Amino acid sequence: MEVLKIIAEIVVPILAVVIAGIWTFFKLFHKFKTKFLFITNCQILHKAIWKDIVAYYDIHQNGEMDHAFRPLVLLPHSLKKYTSIKNGQKAVLECTNSLNENKLKVLAEVYWIPETVVKEGKEVKFEPWNTINHPVFSLVLRRYFGIERPMYQDAEEVNDTENWTKVNHHKIHLDPLNKSINGDFLQWAVSNRYTFRYFNPSEGEKGGYETEPTQNNFVEYCGLSIVFRTHSLLSVEND
């Protein structure tokens, strides 16, 4: 009994300190080695690109609007040199904008937009999505980070022009989750902390950006401040 008492009073605390030291070492080493991707622009996740991504990777869906309410990020192939995230893995997204009182963090599922695919035995470009050069965010992520907010049919017009701007978007590739206007368009509000423009994947960046929505133009938000890193057991989210 005396031996057990000595073990309890001396050996166990020492062992706890050793384990804590080892954990701290590996955690710091992991944090040092982790690749960070700094996201300054993002595009919206819409039905057209999601349909092709689902078919390519055979992704399980929970209903037709699953891609809107699921924390999803699509990454262009051009960013592979900046992160070690694997297809289908979870990543930590952290908003570092100084205007937020608290840092916002969320876990999101990640899929890569392939540069090429094999069709009829030939390798061809994954058109038109191979022209996308910025991450693509699902609706729930855009709302969580305060990039945009909905405006419904019975809502008042946005009068807070100091903080919000109305944006119109053609509804052909979107779910009816925002206010409908003029028959063919949906409308929501975007935070004035960011700017936005319209990008046509079929034209690519060589076609330039536009200021007006069309059937094949998709909103791209600019001026974000979001850190992207791979999620793991060694990631402690309250750092």
pLDDT above 60: residue 111: yes
Residue numbers of the domain that contains 197: 34-230
CB 238 within 8 A of CB 215: no
> In angstroms, rounded to a whole number, what is the distance separating the alpha carbons of residues 119 and 140?
33
CB 9 within 8 A of CB 51: no
Give the tens place of pLDDT for each residue, 38-60.
899 999 999 999 999 999 999 99
115 and 129 fall within a common domain? yes
> In angstroms, rounded to a whole number, what is the distance separating the alpha carbons of residues 123 and 221?
32
78 and 132 fall within a common domain? yes
pLDDT value of position 157 = 56
pLDDT value of position 32 = 41
Whether residue 104 lies inside any domain: the answer is yes
221 phi, psi to nearest 5 deg? -90, 140
- Structurally, the chain folds into a number of domains equal to 2
Judged by phi (left if over 0) then psi (alpha if -120 to 50, else beta), residue 92 lies in beta
Give the tens place of pLDDT for each residue, 115-171.
988 887 788 889 999 999 999 999 999 999 999 998 865 455 556 667 889 999 999
Whether residue 85 lies inside any domain: the answer is yes
Whether residue 213 lies inside any domain: the answer is yes
85 and 1 fall within a common domain? no
Whether residue 237 lies inside any domain: the answer is no
Give the tens place of pLDDT for each residue, 8-27.
556 556 655 555 554 454 44
Find, among 176, 178, 153, the residue nearest to 168 by Cα. Answer: 178
pLDDT value of position 82 = 87
Whether the bond between 76 and the residue before it is cis, its omega within 30 degrees of 0, is: no
